[in-house]
Structure 1
Amino acid sequence: MPLNGLGEPPGDQILPALFPVPDPATPAPARRRVPRPEAADGPEPPGSGPARPGTAEDGRQLVFFGAETAEPVLADLAGLLAGPAEVVRMGGTARISVVVDAAWRVHVLVAELAQRGIAASWEPTGDDRHAVRTSYARTLKPLAAAWLRGTTKRPPAGFHLNGRRLRLWLAAAGVAEPPGFLFRLGPADQECWEPVGAALAAVGLGGDLLDPTAGGPAYLVTGRRRLRRLAELVGDRPPAVPPPAWPERP
């Protein structure tokens, strides 16, 4: 089901129903973002050391490398590729797609993609899931070139995670699994698992790799300090997300 660049379906097409529907009158928390260009994957350090906070308009501390400290950029979609998302090339363009297990994920991903100027579409898969796809776009070609070796997906050298990338991964495939959070991986993406795990550890979110027999493939992040770090990095819960599905700040 196609959507326009603003993340809204054309005509009478609507996004999958949410229960409960989020209250549109609820104001979003104020954020201060500092624009900063970013390549598809550059030498930016992962920020595993002490945070360098700023201050939001509501007085909250902003964590360095957190989702609230910079404008959304296309390179953030690397967070989807760290998880189960797929990327394919066609001519001079590329497309990213991911199958999600809940309607709220469609809402969040469409909105996040629209913030980055990417048109998206979605459709039910017939097994109570939804396939979310970007349009084919030339702007996505650098991500595809960085992540694909033939048809095999593999993180490029220097791959790192930050708050914006983690936010997208969490929206697409993060699952609350008390006492922690699962970050699901692509079942056929074994070449990604180790470097993605190293990138998680580098931002203070080292987790246990679960194989398919244990409910994976996924990384399980546990521990009070790590979950607090996760909440700081991914930022505030989007209105469409049910509260238990998003890490809350203390």
Structure 2
Amino acid sequence: MSQMSLFSAETDDAAIDDLAGLLATHGQSVHTQIGARISVVVPELWRAQAICRDITAIGIAAEVSESEEGSPLARSEANPRLTALHRRWSSGAVKSVPDGWTPSPRALRLWVLAAGRPEGIHYVLGLDPHAPDTHAPLATSLMRVGMAPTLVGAQGRQPALRITGRKRRTRLLETVGAPPQDPTARAAWPTPS
């Protein structure tokens, strides 16, 4: 029998900094006159809907729309409360990981929602192919929470951090909690084996 982790997305209170989980992957932040906005294109509608629910839980309005390519898009409203997060994750016009960033359980859940998928006996968390300088710091951030990953596909269009081993996959599952209610979400969710 497995014991529930004391540090789980299901027990943590939602916070603005959790949205960094979207920026850890291919999510983008832009600054407007009103404040910053965070958005991420995902391959399936259930992902966009779940991300919007998590953004709304923080007290920021969010909506599901469609990208120019026709994929589901989850995005927050432009809000001044997101400006500090945008600035921490930006170095000029380039995405950068803040020094010492460690993903909270909810940030890790958002990362899984946006770009997590099983790959054989492994689980992978997608990275931003347009921000290669973030890959190594993000690998280090996962090491800080006990999930030492392997960087895969660094030169390709789908770079990712691969989590291998029952212990690490179990830790990931305990941290991110249960999948969304959508039946297709279970197939994309982390499992111990």
TM over 0.5: yes
Q: In the alignment, is the contact (CA less than 8 A) between 1:107 and 1:240 conserved in 2? A: no
Give the aligned partner of residue 190 of structure 2.
247
For residue 82 of structure 2, the aligned residue among 125, 131, 140 is: 140
For residue 171 of structure 1, the aligned residue among 84, 93, 113 is: 113
2 CA distance for matches of 1:203 and 1:181? Answer: 16
Structure 1 residues 110 and 173, CA, compared in 2 at 3 Å: closer, same or farther?
same
- SS of 1:209's equivalent in the other structure is strand
Structure 1 residues 127 and 228, CA, compared in 2 at 3 Å: closer, same or farther?
same
1:114 partnered with 2:37 = no
Amino acid at match of 1:226: R
Q: Look at both structures and tell me which one has the larger radius of gyration over its CA atoms.
A: 1
**Percent of aligned pairs with the same amino acid:** 34
Give the aligned partner of residue 151 of structure 1.
93
RMSD: 2.0
1:114-140 deviation digits (Å, cap 9, x = unpaired) = 111111123223645212211100010
- 4+ residue runs of structure 1 moved beyond 4 angstroms? 212-215
Structure 1 residues 143 and 239, CA, compared in 2 at 3 Å: closer, same or farther?
same
2 CA distance for matches of 1:83 and 1:144? Answer: 14
1:195 partnered with 2:137 = yes
Structure 2 unaligned segments of length 5 or more: list them.
Answer: none
Q: Normalising by structure 2, report the TM-score.
A: 0.91
- SS of 1:200's equivalent in the other structure is helix
Structure 1 unaligned segments of length 5 or more: list them.
Answer: 1-59
Amino acid at match of 1:238: P
Q: In the alignment, is the contact (CA less than 8 A) between 1:92 and 1:141 conserved in 2? A: no
Give the aligned partner of residue 5 of structure 2.
63
Structure 1 residues 128 and 222, CA, compared in 2 at 3 Å: closer, same or farther?
farther
2 CA distance for matches of 1:91 and 1:151? Answer: 16
2 CA distance for matches of 1:149 and 1:126? Answer: 26
2 CA distance for matches of 1:241 and 1:118? Answer: 26
Deviates more, 1:161-170 or 1:65-74: 65-74
Give the aligned partner of residue 90 of structure 1.
32
Amino acid at match of 1:72: A
Q: In the alignment, is the contact (CA less than 8 A) between 1:119 and 1:135 conserved in 2? A: yes
1:128-176 deviation digits (Å, cap 9, x = unpaired) = 5212211100010110111111111111122111311110000011111
For residues 126-137 of structure 1, what are the structure 2 equivalents within 5 Å? 127-137=69-79
Displacement of 1:216 in angstroms is 2.6
Structure 1 residues 241 and 148, CA, compared in 2 at 3 Å: closer, same or farther?
farther
Give the aligned partner of residue 237 of structure 1.
179
Give the aligned partner of residue 51 of structure 1.
none
- Structure with greater proportional helix content: 2
Amino acid at match of 1:154: S
1:184 partnered with 2:106 = no
Structure 1 residues 212 and 193, CA, compared in 2 at 3 Å: closer, same or farther?
closer
